[in-house]
Amino acid sequence: MVRPGDWELLGGSDPCPGSIDDVQAAARTWQDNYNILNEVRSGLASSGITGNGQAVTAVRTLLNRNAALAGAIADRAQSNADVFFTWGGQLTQFQADADRLLTQAIQADEDRQQALALMAASGGGIPTPTLQSPFTQNTQNAPASPFPASTDAGLAGLLEDQAREADRQRGQALLNQAQQHLDDLSRQADELHQAHQDAGNTCAKNLQPLDLAAVTHDSGIDPSLPGRRRRPHRVAESG
């Protein structure tokens, strides 16, 4: 699944990186390894060798030892498969949450841009309403207006200024709201990133090493061949 490329609104980088496909592939590989090793364990454990001779006993002991060793490695492979399956589910949820935050951030940024446009427009002209003062109506036999003719223009200018100020204040309120929303989304993205990191580190610590020394040490299996004698050290003769 391709991740979004632009995270500038939430700090500049994907808060929950990682390839779900790669994690799921790793989980399946470990599961396949477990299945193979478990078959090996079953085959070695069911060899059916009987007898009491020294050679027969040594072979049977070796097969049982190898069955136990294959079983110990198989258990670790299953454990690692479970770790990757768990991390795959967690990563899926983490990335879904990150995508949701990004969608909300894009909408909040659009709201911010609209607020800025409204504030910019409030600084320019708006259509002046056509007003007719009741004091200058030319009705028949009406007395002359005691107010100067500039009263109409002054009233229109006042209304225009008030409309611009109302737009500016509304734009400022919308801008503050959008910016506050973006700040909150950025905070949530930071918290999500930390949770993603903590969960990933926990999964990494739970992975089991498969080197022979670690397996034999943790399982208590003797890695040496049964019945094998160590060559004695030669003592140097003093001359």
Domain, as residue range, for 184: 18-127+149-219
Position 94 in a domain: yes
Residue 85 pLDDT exceeds 70: yes
Q: How many CB atoms lie within 10 A of CB 223?
A: 11
Residue 132 pLDDT exceeds 50: no
Cα–Cα distance measured from residue 238 to residue 235, given in angstroms and rounded to the nearest whole number: 9
Residue 183 pLDDT exceeds 90: yes
Position 135 in a domain: no
Position 212 in a domain: yes
CB 98 within 8 A of CB 192: yes
Position 144 in a domain: no
Q: Where are the alpha helices (DSSP H) in 123-231?
A: 150-206, 212-219
Position 85 in a domain: yes
pLDDT confidence band for 226 (50 / 70 / 90): low
Of 112, 124, 111, residue with least CA distance to 161: 124
* Least confident residue range of 51-65, 81-95, 191-205: 51-65
Q: What is the pLDDT of residue 238?
A: 47
Q: What is the pLDDT of residue 133?
A: 35
Of 61, 113, 79, residue with least CA distance to 222: 61
Show the tokens assigned to 21. Answer: 């496909």
Q: What is the pLDDT of residue 125?
A: 34
Cα–Cα distance measured from residue 219 to residue 62, given in angstroms and rounded to the nearest whole number: 16
Residue 75 pLDDT exceeds 50: yes
Average pLDDT over residues 121-147: 44
Q: Which pTM value belongs to this model?
A: 0.72
Position of tokens 């492979």?
77
Q: Taking the CA of residue 108 as centre, how many other CA atoms within 13 Å lie in the half-sphere pointing to its CB?
A: 19
Higher pLDDT, 95 or 163: 95
Average pLDDT over residues 99-113: 95
Position 46 in a domain: yes
Residue 166: alpha-carbon gap to chain centroid: 42
What is the per-residue DSSP string for 113-141? HHHHHHHHHHTS--PPP----TTS---TT
Position 122 in a domain: yes
Q: How many CB atoms lie within 10 A of CB 18?
A: 18
Residue 8 pLDDT exceeds 50: yes
CATH of the domain at 71: 1.20.1270
Of 83, 70, 89, 66, residue with least CA distance to 31: 83
Position 174 in a domain: yes
Q: Give the chain's domain count.
A: 1
Round the average pLDDT of the chain to a whole number and report it.
Answer: 81
Position of tokens 């500016």?
168
Looking at the chain, the whole-number percentage of residues with pLDDT higher than 70 is 79
Q: What is the pLDDT of residue 148?
A: 52
Report the chain's terminal Cα–Cα distance, integer Å.
Answer: 77
